[in-house]
Amino acid sequence: MPKLTLSMIVKNEEQFLPGCLESVQGIADEIVVVDTGSTDSTKRIAEEHGAKVYDFVWVDDFSAARNFALQKSTGNWILYLDADERLTESSVEELKEIIEKDKNLAVNCLIDCIDNHNNKASVIKYTRLFRNNPKLKFKGKVHEQIVTSLKELNYKTVESNIKILHLGYDIPKAELEKKAERNLALLLKEFAEKPTIYAAFQIAQSYGVLDDSTNVIKYFDYILSTKESPKLYKAHAYRYKAAKAFERGDFKIALNLASKGNRLDPDQPLLNMLLAKIYLLTGQMEESLKFIFRAYQTNKSETVKEFELVIDPRSVLYLALQISSAAKSAEHFNYYFSELKKLDSGELSSNKLLNFVRLLFNGEPIEENSIKDYASQITEANCELLFSLIEKYPLLDIKLRLLNLSSDTLSEHTAYLNSYGYALLQNNATAEAAEVFEKSIKKKITEPAIIFYLISAYVQLEQYEKITALVELAEKSFAALPEVMERLNMLKEKLSVLN
């Protein structure tokens, strides 16, 4: 009997399948590929790699196809992958050790999701390796799960460092949306037949890919209103709703929702990061430092939870450095800087970025022939950190040159607009600064300071009629912040005298 079977379902995967099958050569004793209707060379590629290929008539049910593949799999152990996934070479030895055991084990693996199109990366823990048993069954028409069946058969779940690369998100947004639409049709059908919390969660996720926030919130509200919903699902629902409120500038609502989610799941890195952002942009630095530290520590620990994401540590560290700089805490800044340095040790481009961050934080001069090179280090992934450091950078001429040399693709980003507007204000280009700040606020109200910068510009331009509407907007956004409200009330008193 084979020791390990690679079990797969595929359709038109000629682009991805070779890499997947090559990644298990020498470790999988049997490869079972179930084809659900390919019209390309998928089946031929599978056969060339020694796979047993079976046809399966598609019935709008991924679990049905998976279960058919399980029936054809004869190994003691099952590893299941999608065609756009690869077992990493560094995981082979650990996998070999595990499959020598004869216990009913289910093994959590690390799914490393690559998304170069959006400069994002994340890791999710999921059961992909388990001891074979004819009673095991996948469940769910889409996002099929084996976990429920494993629990019913009293399998013990263990952790591993087995890493699987997932390239499925590293495709253009149009292709992701097409995939989400396909899944959504099946999920909505499944939910209509039998409403479940898991289906509601996956429907919300699919609508999220399609940028349909109204329907995302509809299904997350279903989760929040259902008593049986697990705490982790509710925490994710609160986080999404809090993030949307944050984007609208409703910081009071955002804080309330994020805090509810955090009480349900205090170790969720994304929730802790969101709370850190809310406290940063509302000027509560001690709280912001506390939550970003929590986010970094829990993300590093890779706490095992169902469907929980482990975020790219760079994104956490960039925010941590931004908060430390805003809090004027050299101690915190140096700690996170050293963590980033350890993470990117030896990479030339990373060393350049680190040096740029250090120069900006310390307010040190940048050599003339290096300004363009440093400006090229600003990307979508790190721009909020770098633009916030540039905003505080004391050398105005260099600051303006860095901003003018920044990539055109970032010129509409609110972090760029805020930094550029402040530099123009410092350079006495008041009318131009006001236009830039207005553009930023129209996109998103990000922090009280921008409101006061714009008010200052209006005063200098004697455009007092614009201040009243701006103050009303600020009062709505920052109602939960006594210090900001006090400054706004003082401003209103001064305006009443002028009027």
Residue 316, pLDDT score: 95
Residues of the chain with pLDDT > 70: what percent?
94
Residues of the chain with pLDDT > 90: what percent?
72
Please say if the pLDDT value at position 302 is more than 60. Answer: no
Residue predicted with more confidence, 171 or 227:
227
Q: What is the mean pLDDT of residues 100-127?
A: 79
For 263: left if phi > 0, alpha if psi spans -120 to 50, otherwise beta; the answer is alpha
CATH 1.25.40.10 domain position(s) in the chain = 344-498
Please say if the pLDDT value at position 169 is more than 70. Answer: no
Token pair belonging to 326: 């805003």
Query: Which pLDDT tens digit goes with each residue over 433-482?
Result: 999 999 999 888 768 889 999 999 999 999 988 998 898 888 888 887 78
Please say if the pLDDT value at position 69 is more than 80. Answer: yes
CATH 3.90.550.10 domain position(s) in the chain = 4-166
Residue predicted with more confidence, 346 or 423:
423
Query: Which pLDDT tens digit goes with each residue over 346-394?
Result: 555 678 999 999 999 999 999 999 999 999 999 999 999 999 999 999 9
Residue 474, pLDDT score: 87
**What confidence tier does 140 reach under pLDDT thresholds 50, 70, 90?**
confident
Q: What is the mean pLDDT of residues 225-251?
A: 93
Of the ranges 219-223, 229-233, 483-487, which one carries the lowest mean pLDDT score? 483-487
Residue 347, pLDDT score: 58
Please provide the average confidence, as pLDDT, over all residues in the chain: 91
Query: Which pLDDT tens digit goes with each residue over 185-196?
Result: 989 998 999 899
Residue 394, pLDDT score: 97
> What fold characterizes domain 344-498?
1.25.40
**What confidence tier does 304 reach under pLDDT thresholds 50, 70, 90?**
very low
Token pair belonging to 444: 């998103």
Please say if the pLDDT value at position 116 is more than 70. Answer: no
Distances in Å between the alpha carbon of 173 and those of 170, 177, 180? 9, 6, 10
> What fold characterizes domain 4-166?
Spore Coat Polysaccharide Biosynthesis Protein SpsA; Chain A (3.90.550)
**What confidence tier does 117 reach under pLDDT thresholds 50, 70, 90?**
very low
Token pair belonging to 9: 């379902």
**What confidence tier does 239 reach under pLDDT thresholds 50, 70, 90?**
very high
Query: Which pLDDT tens digit goes with each residue over 265-286?
Result: 999 999 999 999 999 988 899 9
Residue predicted with more confidence, 145 or 22:
22
